[in-house]
Amino acid sequence: MNKIYPSAAAALDGIVRDGQLLAVGGFGLCGIPEALIDALQATGVKDLTVISNNAGVDGFGLGKLLSTRQIKKMISSYVGENKEFERQYLSGELELEFTPQGTLAEKLRAGGAGIPAFFTKTGVGTIVAEGKEIREFDGHKYVMERALTPEVSLVKAHIADKSGNLIFNKTARNFNPNVAQAGKLTVVEVEKIVEIGELDPDQIHLPGIFVHRIVLNTTPEKRIEQRTIRKTI
């Protein structure tokens, strides 16, 4: 099975459509699939529900899809670095399902593991728990959360072999493994592709069974979200 596609556009061909539930890896601008996001924007698909920790920044990452109004709803835990995200939400133009960060990670992990729901203390007694089942275990209340299984997942990794085994680059791993496992169809953008057998099995972060399509992007921009400098005297 050939998992390697010649471009991000080719990797998305035939698998994205209006009204879809998608998940996108990354944390802020760290570990986002830049080329795949650009290709998704170019398709013109709309009314998307996107699962991602946040929505990039204004004009970059998922912020591009917000500017073109291709996203109908975000399932996220943080919106603080994107003014357009905040504006659309507060004006009622964008739906938002606020989800605690750890709960979001577990909803994706559970989806990838075939677990339809789980109970957590996080959110009990807050608006996060409104309308959800509450049960008591050992004298403590827990809220039931449903797992997430997106139709398509877009992921960024550092290295892949031709069978899709992945290695992530340090903190760029963040949400990417969980997003990859949860997707019914997972597309991965990588900076390097090697032959099968070149990767040390003990160093592989995610096995290729979760990966369906691979696209090479050797020169991602990797924009810095907040540049901080220190002046020395």
Give pLDDT tens digits for 204-214. Answer: 999 999 999 99
> Measured between alpha carbons, how far is 10 from 219 in angstroms, rounded to an integer?
18
Q: What pLDDT shows up at residue 232?
A: 78
pLDDT band at 71 (very low <50, low <70, confident <90, very high): very high
> 162-204 pLDDT, tens per residue?
999 999 999 999 999 999 999 999 999 999 999 999 999 999 9
CA distances (Å), origin 141, targets 122, 125, 144: 10, 9, 10
Residue 36, strand partner residues:
none
Helix, strand, coil fractions of the chain, as percent rounded to 5: 25, 25, 45
Mean predicted confidence (pLDDT) in 77-90: 89
> Measured between alpha carbons, how far is 18 from 48 in angstroms, rounded to an integer?
6
Asked if 207 and 165 touch (Cβ cutoff 8 Å), the reply is yes
Q: How many CB atoms lie within 10 A of CB 146?
A: 13
Q: What pLDDT shows up at residue 91?
A: 95
Sign of the C-alpha dihedral, residues 170, 112, 5, 35?
negative
* The amino acid at 7: S
Question: Is pLDDT above 80 for 80?
Answer: no
**For a pLDDT cut of 70, what percent of the chain falls above it?**
100
Least confident interval from 70-84, 120-134, 180-194, 201-215: 70-84
pLDDT band at 70 (very low <50, low <70, confident <90, very high): very high
Residue 167, strand partner residues:
159
Contacts of 210 (CB under 8 A, 6+ apart): 112, 164, 180, 181, 183, 186
Q: What pLDDT shows up at residue 223?
A: 87
Question: Is pLDDT above 80 for 86?
Answer: yes
For residues 124, 115, 157 and 225, what is the CA-based torsion angle, rounded to 10 degrees? -10
